[in-house]
Chains A and B, each alone.
Chain A
Amino acid sequence: MADKIREEIPIQLSMVAPGQDVQFVAVHGGWGIRRRLAEMGLNPGVKMKVIQADFQGGPIIVAVRDSRLALGRRMAHKIMVNTI
């Protein structure tokens, strides 16, 4: 599952356009957030896709593994991803 993370400059998840496939690299945040995301399946290397980013400044929906996560915009700013 955890494909090798490609050497690339990661971007913020909030910058990613809907429909784009990306790969999770890291999250800038404390222990609590990292753990929370890990519990929901967001581990380094996992593939994700932005499904919906309709609300400007509002939350977005991403597909991770087989589930859909709603992430606040602030959260999305802190998640670094690589495009694939």
Chain B
Amino acid sequence: MAVEGAVSNRSAIIDYGRDLEKEIATLEGSISKIEALTARYPARWLAVKLLENDSDVKEKVRAIDGGVEIIRQAETSMAHLRSIFGDEAETVIADRRYGFISGVAKKVLRKPAIDRLTSSDKIDNIVTNRVLGIPIFLISMWLVFQFVACSGPYSDWLDGVLAGPICRWGITIIKLISLDGTWVESLWVDGIIAGFAGVMVFVPLLFFLYFALAILEDCGYMARIAFVMDRLMKAIGLHGKSFLPMIIGFGCTVPAIYATRTMREWKDRIVTAQVASLMSCGARLPVYTLFAAVFFADNPGTFILALYLFGIFWAIVIAKLFRSTVFAGGEKAPFVMELPPYRMPTLKGVLIHVWERGAFFFQKAVTIIMAVSIILFFLLNIPWGVSDMRDSLFGKVSATIAPVLAPMGCGNWEAAGSLLTGFIAKEVVVGTMGEIYVAGAQEEAEVEEPTNFFQDLGEILVGFWDATVDTVKSIVSIIPGVNLMDGEEEEEVTRLVAALRERYTPLQAVAFSVFVLLYIPCMVAVAAFRSEFGTKWALFNAVYLTALGWIVSTLIYQVGLLLGF
């Protein structure tokens, strides 16, 4: 294709033809009499939009004084046009627009006359192929998760920076205002920094996930995934476009809930969002990993995989159930989607995508987590000077809840407390267990060597460089047969492992892990749900998931006991 000549960037007025123009002009005349409308919208644009029956615009016009009359007038015009064209005005308008576009295109574009498959079509023949489509999709998803797993070094680096230099700077400031040794210092170190670090370690993971998804999206493959998966999703009562949010759910439920926005039909959207948290998110993995290490050391991978599959199983069951009960009926949204031509993603475009999504999560998570960490800190320390966590307000609340969890084998205050904090973020469950079971679990602060600001800064930068090198190495190692990674050294959780092995049976561990999988999503996810679907449905989501978790875990535990486990 070649572009000939320049087009002036004067905004073009499309001639919609005599009959339409007459109606537009009349409507435009009435609109320009209402100042409240002309102050906000160009009159002609508004007239066209109303004739197009744009529900959004109608809503806005209706809210303005005299708007109802305008809409009535527009409806009369539409009826009149319908009788002339035998078709809706909007169809005619769209037709005229495309006519205008092709007119312009004919003037400035020269295309090869032969009508044949483009290279994009050729890629589609492979990628959306009946046989190859799903395997290609699975391989690309596997690559995405491999890539996301490479974010580890950055998480460690962030954790180090927060627990090291940033924590020290705060202490320095606290010392300056001579509050050191008081509760303020403790709040900073054990409350704010600890809580903040807990979330920040997930930020690199999310950014990596968003990066990978942005590449898939920008190159055009994402739309094909919906195409390939449409039939499968339809079988469980969902929509081809439901698939993407569910995949994102493996990373984090929050963006998964927002990703349902691509669906037009509200019922499809909400059902997808309702089951999104059943896709085990990244934050649940630490919990699974811990229990796998404690009780299924021979085969930790199988245990973890089984939990993931169990979540998917329930997502299918619940989606089918909801689609035929609570969210039954509704117009089944037709599957219509434009497949953009494949193109090379630009770094800028990808980074914009990553930033838009990532910054949003970051902001939301930071504010909420910060607030809850502070509250939790006080709950753990009230009455003031309490030395045993069990006697703190938090311990007492947990002990009150504990009996409810008894049928699923977790009727002690420690488990109840861990699950409570899991509402903040699921991975916190591990941290709380560590704090409760391993007295003074927090490693005694590394021997405090006095450092100055510039040494700290240097440490941060060197750490970042090392993390980058490690990440690049592990990304390259995804290529089969290449391994640049040194033998991964196992983390030392032995004290917690020993403590858990003493106190829980494998059956209890299974029931507990399943409960963590199913019960109320973390508060950020609940907040996201609320902002997308309203308070009522967010509560519904939290309640049904918790009930489901309780029932399933109890069944597992009780049946397990009967079978003699």
In the complex, whether B6 has a CB less than 8 A from a CB of chain A is: no
User: How many residues in B have their beta carbons less than 8 Å from beta carbons of A?
Assistant: 37
Q: A43 to B98, Cβ gap below 8 A?
A: yes
B227 to chain A: which residues have CB within 8 Å? 59, 61, 70
B230 to chain A: which residues have CB within 8 Å? 55, 58-59, 70, 72
In the complex, whether B88 has a CB less than 8 A from a CB of chain A is: yes
Chain A 16-38 interface mask (CB, 8 Å, partner B; 1/0): 00000000000001111111111
- In the complex, which residue of chain A has the Cβ closest to the Cβ of B232? A58
- Please judge, given known A-B contacts A38-B91, A41-B98, whether A61 and B339 are in contact too, CB under 8 Å: yes
Interface residues of B in 91-144 (CB under 8 A from A): 91, 94-95, 98-99, 102, 117, 120-121, 124-125, 128-130, 133
Interface residues of B in 323-371 (CB under 8 A from A): 331-332, 334-341
Q: B339 to A33, Cβ gap below 8 A?
A: no
Interface residues of A in 34-60 (CB under 8 A from B): 34-41, 43-44, 46, 51-52, 54-55, 57-59
In the complex, whether B223 has a CB less than 8 A from a CB of chain A is: yes
B57 to chain A, nearest CB (A): 13
Q: B334 to A54, Cβ gap below 8 A?
A: no
A4 to chain B, nearest CB (A): 14
In the complex, whether B53 has a CB less than 8 A from a CB of chain A is: yes
- In the complex, which residue of chain A has the Cβ closest to the Cβ of B102? A1
A37 to chain B: which residues have CB within 8 Å? 336
A74 to chain B: which residues have CB within 8 Å? 332, 334-335
Q: B95 to A2, Cβ gap below 8 A?
A: yes
A21 to chain B, nearest CB (A): 9
Q: B90 to A71, Cβ gap below 8 A?
A: no
User: How many residues in A have their beta carbons less than 8 Å from beta carbons of B?
Assistant: 37
Contacting A35 at CB < 8 Å: which of B91, B102, B121, B226? B91
A6 to chain B: which residues have CB within 8 Å? none
- In the complex, which residue of chain A has the Cβ closest to the Cβ of B125? A52
CA distance A72 to B94 in the complex (A): 22
CA distance A30 to B265 in the complex (A): 14
A54 to chain B: which residues have CB within 8 Å? 128-130, 133
CA distance A16 to B332 in the complex (A): 23
Chain B 199-225 interface mask (CB, 8 Å, partner A; 1/0): 000000000000000000000000100
Chain A 53-83 interface mask (CB, 8 Å, partner B; 1/0): 0110111010101011111101100100000
Q: A70 to B334, Cβ gap below 8 A?
A: no
Q: B53 to A68, Cβ gap below 8 A?
A: no
Q: A2 to B99, Cβ gap below 8 A?
A: yes
B95 to chain A: which residues have CB within 8 Å? 2, 38, 43-44
In the complex, whether B240 has a CB less than 8 A from a CB of chain A is: yes
15 more CB-based (< 8 A) A-B contacts, given A38-B90, A71-B335, A72-B230: A2-B95, A2-B99, A32-B331, A54-B133, A59-B231, A61-B128, A68-B339, A69-B339, A70-B226, A70-B336, A72-B334, A74-B334, A74-B335, A75-B334, A78-B334
Interfacial residues, chain A to chain B (CB-CB below 8 A):
1-2, 29-41, 43-44, 46, 51-52, 54-55, 57-59, 61, 63, 65, 67-72, 74-75, 78
Of the A-B pairs whose beta carbons lie under 8 Å apart in the complex, a sample of 27, sorted by A's number, is A35-B53, A35-B94, A36-B336, A38-B90, A38-B95, A39-B94, A43-B95, A44-B95, A51-B121, A51-B124, A52-B125, A54-B129, A55-B231, A57-B231, A59-B240, A59-B335, A61-B124, A61-B128, A63-B121, A68-B338, A68-B339, A68-B341, A69-B337, A72-B240, A74-B334, A75-B334, A75-B336
